[in-house]
Amino acid sequence: MIRSYRKRLFYLTPLLIFLIAALPASGANDTSAAGAALLSINGTAFLDENSDTVFSSGEPGLSGVIIRLMQGDVEIAYAVTGKSGEYAFSSLTPGDYTVSAESAGAAGLTVPASGRYDLTLASLPAYYIDFGFNAPRNATLPFRRYPIMRPTAEMATAWSMQFNASHKAFLSPEISAKLAAAPPASYSLLDQLNYTPSERDQGTCGNCWAWAGTAVMEIDYARQRGTSERFSVQFLNSNFNGGCGSSGACCGGWLSDVADFYGEKGIIVPWRNENALYQDKGTECGSCSAVSPSDISTSPSYAIDSISDVSIPTHGIPQEEAIENIKNVLLQGKAVWFAFFLPDSSSWDSFFSFWGSRPESAVWRPDASCGRGYNPAQGGGHAVLCVGYNDTDPKNRYWVMLNSWGDTASRPAGLFRVNMNMNYNCAYLGLGSAFYWMTLDMSYPEEEGDSSLRGTPLIYSASVNGSDGGPVNTSAQKITATRSWKKAGSGESSSLSSAKRMGIYAATQDRADRDSERDSTGRVHKTEKKSCDCQQD
């Protein structure tokens, strides 16, 4: 009997070994397989009836649109949109993908402006990958109303106090000497920024401060790491003060809020991550972000060692000294965050008209309203990115500014020019200073094989503006500067690092179910809007 059992076991052993080998491995492989099965890309093709590039409530989906999925130059799948315009690609493995749509009849795309989405899937599904198409029958579109920040008197005072209390930006003695001896006639950092003008559009959300601050970070990363990467504004929007209510990102903020946010997070998230592209164009102050923080993938991400906001001295000094200080920072390869306030509706209407109807070659005078009384119900602020300057003509010197209001027919690059011969001490009765110039000091963990950048000479490639105002690369022109770094948390931080630390913000940390609900595709449907003092104009 025992001999017979042993004989059967002898014949069964190879079969058992084969079956065990065929079973899926446990541990990490199980996790990888499960993760791959969960990855997907989905969105909607829709008729963009008002051409605002947002899939708004009431706009119809388009069926029969072909959506193509690529990896590199190879098409790996395609889908045809359903009755409501929906499509999906499922069971995708982690990796880089490109999603594009074929035009629906004779209609052209309004979103994405580039005609495609470049995505990196790591661990989460990608939602909101929508394709908007023109609606030819709408020949007349409503006037675009642009958002501005409308801080309360308390908040505006806190921002001004923060600016005055912050550390001053480092001014390179070497660059100061060069500016005195042989100043570059023009300079631009625009070629260091990876952006699509029409996609750089905050929509109805008052988060200009975040767009400008994120771009300062992008140019700093290119300066120190040699890589132009597009960072996610949505990551900040969804996470800032819980992403909801009157303290949300769409209700305004300051550069210190950008520094505090990323100082706490410790990472920067690329735009191309799952659900990290900007989706809050239709979000207003008081409502919730369209994307839940948990839906935004943080893999991959870039680590930050330290980040702090610093002010550029421009108040209480002569005009030429203020100009030299701003130039000094720009010539270090650092972009400048510029916030300006206008006191009343007539001043804002003038700027809206300038932005909407004048070409990029026109120069705006920001100090036309200096000395007026500030009207809290009509006045407000806006933050933009200063990427360079041109003073080849002493009578027509200007700063080059990048806005976050998308592009227009006369502003294809989303740029505008600001008169350099402005009154840097401009102020309004009841508010105080009208203009604030700031930047960020940042440091990153050392990469293997890299030497520390702190306190070492840095070489920056300069570029000058051509006759059309656009950047022209001049690799032969080099400027040397020396950076000194302040480590966050070393006792050198500002005593008033942000309005948030003063308790001005009453953060809403929970995303209440009554404020939004998510459908099966992952899209958030807003069901309630809260009032605040930061409405768009």
In the numeric block, which tokens belong to residue 6?
A: 């042993």
Residue 50's pLDDT band (boundaries 50, 70, 90)?
confident
Q: HSE on the CB side for 317, CA within 13 Å?
A: 11
**Domain 35-134 is of which CATH architecture?**
Sandwich (2.60)
Q: Which two tokens stand for residue 289?
A: 């972000």
Top-confidence residue, 485 or 399:
399
Rg of the chain on CA atoms, in Å: 26
What is the reported pLDDT for 291?
95
In this prediction, residue 105 has a pLDDT band, given cuts at 50, 70 and 90, of: low
Q: Which single residue is written with the structure tokens 């989706």?
A: 279
3-state secondary structure of 304: coil
The CATH code of the domain at 153-511 is 3.90.70.10
> Cα separation of 130 and 111, whole Å?
7
Strand intervals (E) in 58-180: 66-71, 74-80, 86-89, 95-101, 109-111, 116-121, 131-134
**pLDDT score recorded for residue 405:** 96
Q: Which of 190-194, 346-350, 386-390, 479-483 has the lowest mean pLDDT?
A: 479-483
What's the pLDDT score for residue 136? 55
In three-state secondary structure terms, 6 is helix
Which among 244, 261, 253, 159 is positioned nearest to 534, based on CA atoms? 253
- Packing angle of the helix pair 319-331, 173-181 (nearest 10 deg): 120
The token duo for 195 is 């952006």
Name the residue among 260, 174, 537 with its Cα closest to residue 380: 537
130-149 pLDDT, tens digit per residue, is 999 886 544 344 446 789 99
| Sign of the alpha-carbon dihedral angle for 349, 350, 351, 356 | positive
Residue 423: φ, ψ to 5°: -90, 100
Q: Please tell me whether residue 317 adopts helix, strand or coil conformation.
A: coil
Kindly tell me if the per-residue pLDDT of 177 is higher than 50. Answer: yes
* Alpha-carbon separation of residue 300 from 119, 168, 182, 269, 406 (angstroms): 12, 33, 43, 7, 27
Q: Where are the domains of the chain?
A: 35-134, 153-511
% of the chain beyond a pLDDT of 90: 59
Give mean pLDDT, residues 161-176. Answer: 95
Identify whether the C-beta of residue 214 lies closer than 8 Å to the C-beta of residue 257. Answer: no
Q: Answer whether residue 279 shows pLDDT above 90.
A: yes
Q: State residue 64's pLDDT score.
A: 80
**Percent of the chain at pLDDT exceeding 70:** 73
Confidence at 107, pLDDT banded by 50, 70, 90: low
What is the reported pTM? 0.71
More confident residue, 206 or 468: 206
CB 292 within 8 A of CB 271: no
pLDDT of residue 135: 65
How far, in Å, are 221, 245, 365, 369 from residue 255 at the CA level?
17, 20, 23, 24
pLDDT per residue as tens digits for the range 246-264: 999 999 999 999 999 999 9
8 A C-beta contact, residue 257 and residue 500: yes
pLDDT at 144: 66
Rounded to 10°, the helix 208-225/255-265 angle is: 60
Can you read off the two tokens belonging to residue 455?
A: 């306190």
- Tally the C-alpha atoms within 13 A of residue 140's C-alpha that lie toward its C-beta: 0
* Length of the chain measured in residues: 537
Max CA separation in the chain (angstroms): 110
The single residue listed with the structure tokens 């030497």 is 451
Closest C-alpha to 323, from 385, 415, 386: 386
User: What is the rounded distance in angstroms from the CA atom of residue 264 to the CA atom of residue 252?
Assistant: 19
Q: Given a cut of 80, is residue 307 above it in pLDDT?
A: yes
| pLDDT classification of 435: cutoffs 50, 70, 90 | very high
Q: Which two tokens stand for residue 321?
A: 């000294």
pLDDT attached to residue 56: 82
Q: What pLDDT score was predicted for residue 52?
A: 80
